[in-house]
């Protein structure tokens, strides 16, 4: 079943619906026109659904992230409200190699201007091989072309690989967020609108740009 049909039938959006997802409704992004798309290492990224991404996470999450038994924080929130939130607002992508899912990505609009990079999960064999960075390049162009003002995301300080990718793509650390679920994370932002970016750099990055 298509993600959009799932959302309409669950009553999470009006019966008239919007095209594909909440971000499509806000910025008129027709995701099906851009995906599937080819990435390095023979990987293809597909527009996907919450159920598929959730299944992959359930099967591989503990092998990729901290296990529930060793984490000092609340490991995951599997409440019905969380599921309804993702179904109503989320965009979901799967990364596939030789008919096998090797990674997933979840994101969503948080308001009319900001697009939040929520979670990227890859099997170890496909980490550090340029797949995620190539995908972000494509995603950023799509969002910029459709008038999105800003991207944001939160990354654990020890996740050096992810931090390196965001730095290369022009993100700035704008703060630290502390939560009962993930502990302390660095908050990253990148302005896609040049005027907004100039104001940010002038106010907060004086002396760091030529």
Per domain, the residue ranges of the chain are 3-204
CATH number of 3-204: 3.40.630.30
pLDDT at residue 136 is higher than 60: yes
Q: What are the phi and psi torsion angles at 22 (to 5°)? A: -60, -40
Beta bridge partners of 183: 179
Closest Cα partner for 106 from 57, 172, 147, 143? 57
What's the rounded Cα separation, in Å, for the pair 52 and 164?
Answer: 28
Q: What's the mean pLDDT when you consider all of the chain? A: 85
pLDDT at site 72: 53
Tokens read off for 106: 């979840």
In terms of pLDDT, which residue wins out, 146 or 79?
146
pLDDT at site 8: 38
pLDDT at residue 197 is higher than 60: yes
pLDDT at residue 32 is higher than 70: yes
């Amino acid at each position: 079943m298509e993600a959009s049909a799932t959302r309409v039938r669950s009553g999470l959006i009006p019966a008239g619906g919007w095209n594909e997802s909440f971000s499509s409704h806000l910025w008129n992004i027709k995701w099906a026109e851009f995906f599937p798309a080819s990435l390095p290492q023979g990987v293809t990224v597909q527009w996907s659904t919450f159920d598929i991404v959730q299944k992959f996470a359930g099967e591989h999450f503990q092998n990729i992230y901290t296990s529930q038994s060793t984490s000092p924080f609340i490991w995951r929130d599997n409440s019905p409200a969380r599921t309804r939130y993702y179904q109503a607002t989320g965009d979901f992508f799967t990364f596939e190699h030789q008919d096998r899912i090797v990674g997933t990505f979840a994101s969503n609009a948080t308001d009319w201007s900001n697009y939040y990079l929520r979670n990227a999960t890859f099997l170890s064999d496909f980490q550090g091989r340029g797949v995620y960075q190539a995908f972000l390049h494509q995603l950023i162009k799509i969002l910029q072309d459709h008038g999105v003002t800003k991207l944001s995301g939160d990354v654990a300080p020890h996740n050096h690989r992810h931090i390196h990718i965001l730095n290369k793509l022009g993100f700035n650390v704008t703060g630290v967020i502390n939560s009962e679920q993930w502990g302390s994370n660095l908050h990253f932002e990148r302005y896609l609108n040049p005027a907004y970016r100039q104001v940010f750099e002038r106010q907060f990055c004086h002396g760091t740009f030529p």
